[in-house]
Amino acid sequence: MLEIKNLHVEVEGQPILNGIDLVIPDGEVHAIMGPNGSGKSTLSYVIAGKDEYDITDGDILYNGESILEMDPAERVAAGLFLAFQYPIEIPGVATMTFLRTAINAVRKEREQDELSIPDMMKLIQAKAKDLGVKPDMLKRGLNVGFSGGEKKRMEILQMALLDPGMCILDETDSGLDIDALRIVSEGVNALRSETRSMLVITHYQRLLNYIVPDKVHVMSDGKIARTGGKELALELEDAGYAEYDEELA
Amino acid sequence: MELVRTEAENGLISLSQDAPLDGPSWLKDLQDKARAEFQALGLPNRRVEEWKYTDLKAAMKVAFQPVDQGDITQAQVNELLGSDLAELSTQALVFVDGQLNEGLSDLSVGEGVEMLSLKAALADDVSWVKPIGTVQQNERDAVQALNLVLMQGGAAIKIAERQEVSKPIHLIFVSTASSESSVASRLFFDIGAGANVEIIESHLSLQNQASQTNLVTEVLVGDWAKVRHVKFNNDNKESVHLSNVIGKLGKESDYGLFQATLDGGLTRNQVEIRYDGDEAKADISGVALLSGKSHADMTLVMDHAALACESRELFKTVLDDEGRAVFQGKVVVQPGAQKTDGEMMSKALLLSESAEFDSKPELEIYADDVLCGHGATTGQIDDELLFYLKARGIADAEARALLIQAFVGEALELIENDTLRDYVIDQTLAWYEKA
Ligand SMILES: Nc1ncnc2c1ncn2[C@@H]1O[C@H](COP(=O)(O)OP(=O)(O)O)[C@@H](O)[C@H]1O
Ligand SMILES: [Mg+2]
């Protein structure tokens, strides 16, 4: 269970999140929608532990414990995973090497045995196949020369491999055509379980046709402006964000 | 005006009164000239343009003495090399404290390969070693002059025309001294037209004592010949390692030199390549990983004197603590050397605020139809990349090591021999773990 309590966040003295309250129980999928610049990515980065943000008030608890003092790698071992809106290209780090390093690092922190290289390869290749990640991509530099859709699939592959309890997906749908969207959504849905929660951030309702949420929150100006069921997404699709966006209003 | 000499200069001048190697009169003449040159120049210092960033005179307080050849076993040499390198099938020559150790070396005459100790080659006045000391086109500097007089040993290696040498030639320099010592060596290669050979140079120390090394390697690359040359050194932090590779390239020849420097005290890897025949190619690249107060200087002159030759340089330097690196790359295009294609890149990654990287690329172009470019970058580890790796569960230190590895990897890819490349990768990984 993820609990965000009265979270206030600033960057260089500029307030961005202004008191977020959000609880995502085990097994639930919540969506956050909202206009650009409302603070959705900031929230995801703060949960993941990026250090350029100042948390001026509030707390984030995962399974009852505050994560604010944990470094990003520890949060992953604890079960949090963020699929980035803009996955980073790292030339010179082979994708396969990166995946192996990440899996073993997390297993070690969780006090699980290291996987042997053949077992590791089998695991990676099987999950890669499910997500339509071509073997050739695993040999290339991480995300280097990958299309937008390939990068997003790679994010979901990492998510599947690191076995998180709480998945945060930041605009995983952006830049995907309809086929890629379906593959990625199937990958995500396959990971839904009673013990795993998800926070799906999106600007568009479309993704939520594939990944059907238990709750939808609307974020505006660094706050949760409204919370409802999955039908709220459809309402937003029709009405737009004008109501929630000062610049559009 | 009376010259004020440093203690080290006085020591070197007195050492250079007697040349350790006996040779024919042409050598004695060269040595007399070189001796006088050193006396006139003294040690290079920051007022000498080419040594502006590497003030050898200030850094080298005293001149260490050469020592007698110490004892070392094959097993000890193998242990110093590490299993990967020791198991690589090569024809090895082992130089112990500057002397060729015949017991540890494989001097068997392979097909088309002649390997002589420098001492024997000069004593016998072997005709093909006559270019020694004259391969260089530019004026000798003080360090090169000193080597000509002080050289104690080394090797002369001749590869016959069109010879494909199957095993790499491995030149292993080991210092066994239990205290400070100096070594001056020279290698001379005469590579026949159309030959193909791989050269490996390792510089090792048994007792990890401070040493002063002065090494000159002269390489004559015949027409259409292909040479791959890899050199690595990992000296003690009080050591001075002065290396010169002087190459002359024949028509359509292809010379690749890769130099890896790990820490050390003061290291200068100086390279001068003369393109003598049309359409020759050279790739002079390397990596330097420097921590503590290590200083490494990569100084290159690519001298294009023929048509349509190609030069490629890629240097990657990682600097931690107060590490300091210098890159000086000069591309000269002589009048008439049209269609020259030169590309030079030097990149540094700074891991500490106190590290320093000085880069001085120079183009001297006297022809109009040429394509020459150079670039240099200095940067730090990218926080965005670091966060991405950490957000995948990889701890800070390991994430940094991956990014450093990625940075130097682009250059390490240039080592063609898989075993050697893996060896250098392992060395760099061991360096990050220490750093
Ligand atoms: N590192 C940062 N430095 C400065 N401003 C930032 C930073 N991160 C986010 N912001 C600002 O915070 C606001 C919210 O951004 P973001 O969280 O990316 O919104 P969203 O993902 O909802 O589009 C924007 O005005 C953005 O410019
Ligand atoms: Mg965003």
pLDDT digits (tens, 9 = 90+) for A80-122: 999 999 999 998 888 999 999 999 999 999 999 999 999 999 9
Report the distance separating Cα A122 and Cα B167, nearest Å. Answer: 37
DSSP A101: H
CA distances A116 to A96, A104, A128, B319, B389, Å, are: 14, 10, 18, 34, 21
Which residues in chain A are contacts of B387 at CB distance < 8 A?
50-51, 72
B394 close to A (CB below 8 A): yes
Using the predicted structure, report yes or no on whether residue B122 has a pLDDT greater than 60. Answer: yes
CA distances B123 to A112, B27, B228, B269, Å, are: 67, 10, 29, 29
Q: What is the whole-number distance in angstroms between the Cα of residue A215 and the centre of ligand 2?
A: 19
Report the distance separating Cα A215 and Cα A31, nearest Å. Answer: 6
Report the distance separating Cα B202 and Cα B191, nearest Å. Answer: 20
Best of B388, B405, B425 to mutate (most A CBs within 10 Å, chain A): B388
Which residue in A has a C-alpha nearest to residue B389's C-alpha? Answer: A102
Determine the longest span between alpha carbons in chain B, in angstroms. Answer: 69
Q: What percent of chain A has pLDDT over 90?
A: 83
Q: Could you tell me if the CB of A75 is within 6 A of ligand 1?
A: no
Cross-chain residue pair B406–A90, CB shorter than 8 Å: yes
- Fold for the domain defined by A2-248: Rossmann fold (3.40.50)
A11 close to B (CB below 8 A): no
**pLDDT tens digit sequence for A30-72:** 999 999 999 999 999 999 999 999 999 999 999 999 999 999 9
Using the predicted structure, report yes or no on whether residue B235 has a pLDDT greater than 90. Answer: no
Confidence bin at A249 (pLDDT 50/70/90): very low
Nearest-atom index, ligand 1, CA of A52:
1
Angle between helices B25-41 and B142-150 in degrees, nearest 10: 140
Which residue in B has a C-alpha nearest to residue A49's C-alpha? Answer: B391
Best of A76, A86, A112, A158 to mutate (most B CBs within 10 Å, chain B): A76
As a whole number, mean pLDDT of residues A202-207 equals 90
Q: A34: phi > 0 → left, psi -120 to 50 → alpha, else beta; which?
A: left
Q: Evaluate whether B220 touches B251 at the Cβ level (below 8 Å).
A: no
Mean pLDDT (chain A) is 93
Closest CB to A105: pick one of B393, B405, B409: B393
Using the predicted structure, report yes or no on whether residue B2 has a pLDDT greater than 60. Answer: no
Residue A38's CB is within 10 A of a number of other CB atoms, namely 24
Nearest-atom index, ligand 1, CA of A45:
17
Per-residue pLDDT at A248: 52
**pLDDT tens digit sequence for B310-366:** 999 999 999 999 999 999 999 999 999 999 999 999 999 999 999 999 999 999 999
Which residue in B has a C-alpha nearest to residue A105's C-alpha? Answer: B394
As a whole number, mean pLDDT of residues A167-189 equals 92
Q: Could you tell me if the CB of A11 is within 6 A of ligand 1?
A: yes
As a whole number, mean pLDDT of residues A13-38 equals 96
Per-residue pLDDT at A28: 97
From B232's Cα to the closest Cα of chain A, the distance in A is: 22
Q: Which residues pair with B91 in a beta bridge?
A: B169
Using the predicted structure, report yes or no on whether residue A247 has a pLDDT greater than 60. Answer: no
B396 close to A (CB below 8 A): yes
Q: What is the whole-number distance in angstroms between the Cα of residue A43 and the centre of ligand 2?
A: 9
What SS3 class is residue A105?
helix
Between A180-189, B102-111, B207-216, B403-412, the lowest mean confidence (pLDDT) is in: B102-111
- Residue A213: φ, ψ to 5°: -85, 160
As a whole number, mean pLDDT of residues B162-170 equals 95
Cross-chain residue pair B389–A49, CB shorter than 8 Å: no
From B108's Cα to the closest Cα of chain A, the distance in A is: 42
Query: What is the ipTM, given to two decimal places?
Result: 0.96
B390 close to A (CB below 8 A): yes
Using the predicted structure, report yes or no on whether residue A246 has a pLDDT greater than 70. Answer: no
With b for 16 or more beta-carbon neighbours within 10 A and e for fewer, the B339-365 pattern comes to bbebbbbbbbbbbeeebbbbbbbeeeb
A93 close to B (CB below 8 A): yes
Report the distance separating Cα B333 and Cα B220, nearest Å. Answer: 20
Q: B187: phi > 0 → left, psi -120 to 50 → alpha, else beta; which?
A: beta
Q: Evaluate whether A180 touches A153 at the Cβ level (below 8 Å).
A: yes
Mean pLDDT (chain B) is 95
Cross-chain residue pair B388–A87, CB shorter than 8 Å: yes
A13 close to B (CB below 8 A): no
Confidence bin at B274 (pLDDT 50/70/90): very high
Q: Evaluate whether A46 touches A52 at the Cβ level (below 8 Å).
A: no
Report the distance separating Cα B173 and Cα B199, nearest Å. Answer: 13
Closest CB to A71: pick one of B390, B402, B405: B390
Pairing status of strand B99-100 against strand B91-96: antiparallel
As a whole number, mean pLDDT of residues A11-30 equals 97
Which residues in chain A are contacts of B388 at CB distance < 8 A?
84, 87-88, 90
Radius of gyration of chain B, Cα coordinates, nearest whole angstrom:
21
DSSP A114: P
